[in-house]
Each structure stands twice: as C-alpha cells, then as structure tokens.
Chain A
Amino acid sequence: MLERVFNTFVLSLAVFCCAARAQSTGDEIAKYREMLADGNPSELFEAAGEDLWLKPMGPNAQSLAKCDLGLGPGVVDGAFAQLPRYFKDTQRVQDLESRLLTCMQNFQGIDGQAVKGEDFGRGNRKNIEAIVAYVVTHSKGMKINPPMNHPKEKEFYALGQKAFFYRAGPMDFSCASCHGAPNQRIRLQDLPEITTPQGAALAWGTWPAYRVSSGEFWTMQRRLSDCFRQQRFPAPVYTSDVTIALSVFMAQNAKGGIVQTPGLKR
C-alpha cells in the first residue's frame, strides 16, 4: 500500500515536472527567483559598484560621487527610474551607461572612446557593470518614469520605434520578429511583447540582471548587443544612438511599470 502511494506520488511529480516544463521556463525561474529573493548574486556586483562609485580613480584620481544622473549631482536614489533622459550639458539623450561614461570622462579623465572599444565584462566596462548594479538597485520598487518633454526625447522615441521594426540582415529579423506579438516563445523562453505597457515593463523593468547560466551581470547595453547578434545584425557600438533610441522606446512604453532590477535570469 505504502509503496503504491509512493509510486503514485513519484508519477504525479514526474507529470507535474514535465507539464510545467512544456509550458514555459518562466515558472521554474520564478521559483528560483523566490528561493533567491533575499540573496540575488547581483548583490555582490552592487557592493563592488558602491565601492567603485566612491573610489578615486582614473588619471584625475577622482570619484564619481558628484556625477549627475539626472536628479542632481551625486543623487543615486531613484535616478535609474527616470532614465533615459535628455542632459543639457552633453545635449544628448543618455541611458545610464552612456551617462556613467560621460562622468568617468569628465571627473576621472578616462577616455570614453577607448571604453567603447573594450569588451563586456572587462576593464572599465566591468567597473561600469558593477556601478550599474549599484545604481539600479537604488530604484528598485519604484515606478518607471522617464521624462518625455524635450524634443530630443521625442525624436529618440520615434527613432527607437523605427529601429524596433527595422528588418535587415540574412534572416530578415527585426526586434519585432520576437517581441512584436503576444504569448510568443523561442524554444521554452517566453518573449515579452515590448510594444505593450506590460511587455515593455517586463523587458525594461527586469534588466539589468544576473544571468544564472553564465554567472555574469548583464547591463541593458549587453542585453541589446546579444539581441542584435541573434538578429544576425552587425555589432552595435557601445552606447550608440540606436541602443539609446531603443532604450527610450522601451522605457517610455514601460512607463508606470515597476523597476524590478537587478533581475535574475536564466
């Protein structure tokens, strides 16, 4: 009797596991997220980022403590929730990473152009990734609310929308091939529909994220770069206009959603 109950239990477990797997990886990852709710490995990057924010570095031996992320010099709390935005001093619409690059250049004397040529996860870019983890954590739980007042912000939204639907390359792919319709999956991976507020909030609100599969912390710039790789496009230049325009498109569509970064991903 006991054996039969046990067998039924094992069988039902097996059925449950595979039914869940066939449906989506989303559920399994949601469980994993729950388990790690108090210990997302992003915290290691965040702690390193806080140190780097305050540490005198670069040829000028200065810290970033007076860097203006949009809410005033040195204000980190809530800054990410209101990015990307237009900055008067650079006369550009900037996302978090391009803004950090501006500050590293202006305060620390680091050559921003050289940083653009580096690889993700190395050198100055590795430092930026940690600082990103630190900054976004200080918007966690807040409403996504980037401004849309300056003509340049509006222009970048329109350009981002066009870039989102821009088909090219040997596979005719655009961002919309994967993210332009509801309830789509690649293999078992759910794909947010980024043209809707809910989908955009899922995409924009959960990156940057710690990637369990690679043990790396991926910023939005890195996420976008790998999207373009899989789209069979050439490589987007770090913090280039197309990456900023797409970020404006996503963040504006996500308005009212919640910043859940740093996220935890497959």
Chain B
Amino acid sequence: MNSFKLFLLMGSLLMSGFHSQAQELDLKRMMESSFQTKGIASVDRLTQDENQMACSTLVKGKPQINAKQQAKIEKTNLSLVAYPQDGVYLGNWREGEKIAQSGKGATWTDKADDVNGGGCYNCHQLDKKEISYGTIGPTLYNYGKIRGQDEAVLKYTWAKLYNSKAYNACSVMPRFGHFKLLTENQLRDLMALLLDPQSPVNQ
C-alpha cells in the first residue's frame, strides 16, 4: 500500500469516527429532550448502565456485542448476585404462582410501595393449565422435574432470576433482584414454583 492510499484510509477512518460520535450525541440529545418524569418513572431511567449500552450498540442496524465485552458483562453481573444468606432457596409455590401471574410494577401508573409482580406468564409457559402465556422466553413447564434441585441447580436458578445477565449479557429478561423489582422472599416463592415437586409446573 503506498503512502497516499494509507493517508486516504486513515482519513476516512477518522471521518467515520467523528461521524458516528456526532450521531451518538444526537441520540442522547433526542432522548433527553423527548421524555419527562411521570410518577415514579423519572427521566433518570434513560441513563443506560454499561450493560444496557453494550446491548443497544448497533452494527449494520442490529445490536451486536463482541465476545470479550459479553464475557466481562456476564462476570460483573454474576459477581453482583446476592444469594440468600440463610441458604433457604425455596419458598411457597402458591405465592410464586401469584407473582408469576402479576405483571404489575415500575410503570408511571404504579406507586413506589406497590407490590410488584414477576410477569413470568407474559413471556413463559409455566403451569400447563394456564393457557394464556407468552412466547418471548422458553417454556418452563417441568423446569424442576427435568433438572432436580441439587445445589448447582438452586444456585443457577436463583442467579438467573436475580440477575439474568449473569449468564447471557443481552438476555431480554429483567434483572429482578439486581434492580430490586422483587424481594428475596418473592424470589424464594418463584424458586418453589419452578422447583418444588408439588408445584403445578412439575406435574
């Protein structure tokens, strides 16, 4: 490659760098000017954490994350999982079913002290008798029957509910423990819904 071509190449790289930066700035400005705080949904929510930003970065019009970044994000999220201190992972599946049914919480029409739901049925099949389930996530029917409930399964399932990004950096699933959407006890009840042999999920 002669020096003139190299010069041109460097120039175009520099230009494209400036161009994409200018676009990022425009996006930020657009988001900031387009929203207003309403109820508990404040404009602070527009500020992305590192994870959200990495999963929103587009390559040829689609979000794409590189392997190194993905591994780093998953490691960070896994390190932020708080496991139950008393070692009790399983609560009451009947309560868990109620939490799975409720999609309430964290919108501008909710109150700060409202009890949130997990909204599990929005995306997953669980109890076979509930035919109104979504398909964004995989079916969880027979989740515990298939996996049993040894220590590894308990810890994995807890971490998945607490911070889904610990295992998949750009998972579509919310981080229920990490963002305090659900309490520790609610997570225990959902664990029971998934893992208790008596739970309808495992019938």
Q: Do A and B come from one complex?
A: yes
Chain A residues packing against B (C-beta within 8 Å)? 18, 21-22, 155, 158-159, 161-163, 165-174, 176-178, 181, 183-189, 228-230, 232-237, 240-243, 245
List chain A residues, Cβ under 8 A from B71.
Answer: none
Chain B residues packing against A (C-beta within 8 Å)? 23, 26-27, 30-31, 33-38, 41-43, 45-48, 51-53, 55-56, 58, 61-63, 106-109, 121-123, 131-136, 165, 172, 174-175, 179, 181
Complex CA distance for A242 and B26, rounded to whole angstroms: 11
* 28 sampled A-B residue pairs with Cβ under 8 A: A18-B131, A155-B26, A159-B23, A159-B27, A166-B27, A166-B31, A166-B56, A167-B56, A168-B45, A169-B46, A170-B181, A174-B56, A176-B63, A181-B136, A185-B135, A186-B123, A187-B122, A187-B134, A189-B134, A228-B35, A229-B41, A229-B109, A230-B107, A233-B35, A234-B37, A234-B38, A235-B38, A242-B30
Contact A233-B45, Cβ < 8 Å, known A163-B27, A163-B31 = yes
Minimum CB–CB distance for A41 against chain B, Å: 25
Known pairs A163-B31, A235-B37; list 17 more (Cβ under 8 Å).
Answer: A155-B26, A162-B23, A167-B48, A172-B55, A172-B172, A181-B136, A184-B135, A186-B134, A187-B133, A189-B134, A229-B107, A233-B45, A234-B38, A234-B45, A236-B35, A237-B33, A240-B34
- Are the C-beta atoms of A159 and B26 separated by less than 8 Å? yes
Contact A241-B56, Cβ < 8 Å, known A177-B172, A187-B134, A232-B41 = no
Total number of A-B contacts with CB less than 8 angstroms?
Answer: 130
- Are the C-beta atoms of B31 and A187 separated by less than 8 Å? no
List chain A residues, Cβ under 8 A from B106.
Answer: 169-171, 232
List chain A residues, Cβ under 8 A from B56.
Answer: 162, 165-167, 174
Minimum CB–CB distance for A97 against chain B, Å: 14
**Quick one: closest A residue to B172, CB to CB?**
A177
Residue of A155, A162, A181, A236 with most chain B CB atoms under a 10 A cut-off? A162
